[in-house]
Amino acid sequence: MAFSVANVFSNDIGIDLGTANTLVYVRGRGIVINEPTVVATDTRTGRVVAMGGEAKEMLGREPPDLKVIRPLRDGVINDFEYTEEMIRYFIRRVLKNRFFVRPKVVVCVPSGITPVEKRAVRDAAERAGAKDVRLIAEPMAAAIGCSLPVEEPVGSMIIDIGGGTSEIAIISLSGIVTKVSIRVGGDEMDEAIIQPLRKTYNLLIGPRMAESIKIHIGSAFPVFDEEKEMPVKGLDLVGATPRMVMVNSEEIREALSESVNAIIAAVRLALEKTPEELAADIIDRGIVMSGGGALLRGLDQRVRVETNLPVRLDDDCMTCVVRGTGKVLDNLNGYEKMLETLKD
């Protein structure tokens, strides 16, 4: 490995600005921040009172003078001001007092964001002290992070399922040839769990409980002998008192089916739009899945059954994108072409 003076003093930063989680990679140090993309503000002053994990803890528990915001919730920037503040906060936290070298920053953004939003991200990073800010599309960073041969003249297919969006891309020769992006991801799955519990049990639960149910007993494919159940705590709608009910994995799979079907339909659409030669490559090489949403139990198997293609889940789904931005940082010249995809 090259060991130069520039490397020793380098603070170059890669940021995965996800709808659910933000991860920060620093060259030579690895992943240094992994926190929910959540901001808590004081409604009277508009000032930020907490960021990341601390703010997420407050979600659904906040008193009236506190507001908890997810500024990127649906894959678009819902709140410019707080998105900027978050980027600044994370960059400054990493730099601490090492301001003498202005870092290069690569930010991975959901591929659906508009040119105005891209500029906002770039400006925020610059105001936080960055010298050279580049943007990269999420599926490209995910594919690089999963070690797919993105530069070669063969088709590589990636499905990245995040909180707000699912992005499906077929990449060849450093470019995204086919892309399908839908606003369905882990958040929609959480919401899909809330309604049926309300109907069946008169039980009202919050988004954090819904996410916990999804992670513990949610699934996309029935696995014989693996049905589970768990106690779910919420508020009884009739008596307005706290109550607990046992919920089983079959009813949760049913609740999640619409979101899962939407993802499968998007995968099909991407395959239909793919040129023949690349489709042939994908038959041989299969599909790779990344993002936290890809961890839904049985989702990889469901995609395998529905497409008849080999499917592999990345070993570390939740860090794929930030590891991809790290590789890009380490070789900015080599990856120049991929960075241009967002320059419009």
- What per-residue string of b and e applies to 122-146 under the rule 16 or more CB within 10 Å gives b? bebbbebbbeebbbbbbbbbbbbbb
Within 13 Å of residue 289, how many CA atoms lie on the same side as its CB? 24
Q: Answer with the entry of Mg ion, ligand ADP, none that 159 interacts with (C-beta below 5 to 8 A by kind).
A: none
Q: Tell the smallest beta-carbon distance from residue 215 to ligand ADP (Å).
A: 4
- Between 128 and 256, CB nearer to ligand ADP: 256
- Residue 190 CB coordination number (10 Å): 24
Q: Are 180 and 91 in contact (CB under 8 A)?
A: no
Sign of CA dihedral 294, 299, 301, 303: negative
Q: Are 25 and 329 in contact (CB under 8 A)?
A: yes
- Residue 39 CB coordination number (10 Å): 24
- Between 180 and 321, CB nearer to Mg ion: 321
Beta bridge partners of 297: 219
Q: Tell the smallest beta-carbon distance from residue 167 to ligand ADP (Å).
A: 9
Helices (H), ranges, 13-52: none
Residue number with the smallest Cβ distance to ligand ADP: 186
- Between 117 and 236, CB nearer to ligand ADP: 117
Centroid of chain to Cα 274: 24
Interface pick for Mg ion out of 14, 18, 36, 185 (rule CB under 5 A): 18
Q: Answer with the entry of ligand ADP, Mg ion, none that 324 interacts with (C-beta below 5 to 8 A by kind).
A: none
Centroid of chain to Cα 138: 8
Q: Tell the smallest beta-carbon distance from residue 101 to ligand ADP (Å).
A: 28
Interface pick for Mg ion out of 71, 155, 162, 293 (rule CB under 5 A): 162
Q: Which two tokens stand for residue 282?
A: 């994908």
Q: Tell the smallest beta-carbon distance from residue 229 to ligand ADP (Å).
A: 17
- Between 75 and 234, CB nearer to Mg ion: 75
- Between 260 and 278, CB nearer to ligand ADP: 260
- Between 40 and 141, CB nearer to ligand ADP: 141
Binding flag, residue 112, Mg ion (CB under 5 A): no
Q: Which two tokens stand for residue 194?
A: 């809330």
Beta bridge partners of 17: 22
Q: Answer with the entry of Mg ion, ligand ADP, none that 332 interacts with (C-beta below 5 to 8 A by kind).
A: none
Question: Which positions lie near Mg ion, rule CB under 5 A?
Answer: 18, 162, 321
